Amino acid sequence: MSGHSKWATTKRKKAAIDSKRGKAFTKIIKEITIAAREGGGDPNGNPRLRLAIDNAKAVNMPADNIERAIKKATGELEGATYVELTYEGYGPAGVAVIVEVATDNKNRTVAEVRHIFSKNGGSMGEGGSVAWMFEKKGVITLPKQGKTEDELMEIVLDAGADDLQAEEDFFIIQTTIESFEKVRKAIADQKLSVENASLQWIAKNLINVAGENAEKVIKLIESMEDCDDVQNVFTNADIDDSAIN
């Protein structure tokens, strides 16, 4: 599955650390707020909000936090107004990087993102400079929980999934944007728990990076993810195992 494998596993492990630090909560609260503001506070009629709430529950976010974020978005409580932006650029070894942010101060955020790029051997690009190297896909990650790869493959392919990949102790399913919700529903109908489901930028082709370059790419991505305004970071780097372990 393009753009995943080793770095997906690394990010998955990192997500567990981020959750303990509260990073995951902050990002999901922003997503809930944006989804509710744009599509209303009823998850039954707002697929994006429903997805955000499901991801919040997957990291054990308290129901009060979810409800408060929705009320801030709908005006029942006072709260910040976030704008979604996407930045593109290049990292060490010429790898392409896409950065998704949610911010209440665009000037601050663009300055921080540009600084992180330059500080870590990269450079900010114009809009569209690297996006053509990626495709927007639905990605669903779920633990192995009683279903064989063949059994799950049949379920998700019948629902319209493009691909399924087995990792150490979990499955990664890839879908088109159009079939994303249908595949999610098929999984839910099987009473299977989902670790994360989201729309992601998947690289069409990967660039292998190893040694010092791999370490620099990882440092760039981690620095970007540590920025409070950054929601997601995507790259076409295929990170060598030696730089991950």
* Domains assigned to the chain: 6-74 (1.10.10.200), 83-132+206-244 (3.30.70.980), 134-203 (3.30.70.980)
pTM of the predicted model as reported, rounded to 2 decimal places: 0.87
How far, CA to CA in Å, does 157 sit from each of 163, 167, 173, 194? 8, 18, 10, 17
User: Residue ranges of the alpha helices (H) in 89-204?
Assistant: 106-119, 149-158, 180-189
In the predicted structure, residue 36 carries a pLDDT above the cut 90: yes
The number of residues in the chain equals 245
Pairing of strands 207-209, 237-239: parallel
Q: Which of 1-10, 46-55, 106-115, 168-177 has the lowest mean pLDDT?
A: 1-10
CB-based contacts of 169: which residues, under 8 Å, 6+ apart?
A: 143, 144
Which of 2, 3, 59 has the alpha carbon at shortest distance from 32?
59
pLDDT digits (tens, 9 = 90+) for 64-99: 999 999 999 999 989 888 999 999 999 999 999 999
Residue located via tokens 């995507």 = 234
Question: By the 8 A CB rule, do 229 and 207 touch?
Answer: no
d(CA 11, CA 221): 10
Task: Quote the distance between the C-alpha of residue 215 and its chain's center.
Answer: 21
Q: How many CB atoms lie within 10 A of CB 154?
A: 13
Mean pLDDT, the chain, integer:
88
Which residues does residue 136 pair with via DSSP β-bridges, in sequence order? 201
pLDDT digits (tens, 9 = 90+) for 106-134: 999 999 999 999 999 999 999 999 999 99
User: What's the per-residue H, E or C state across 114-133?
Assistant: HHHHHHCCCEEECCCCCHHH
d(CA 81, CA 72): 9
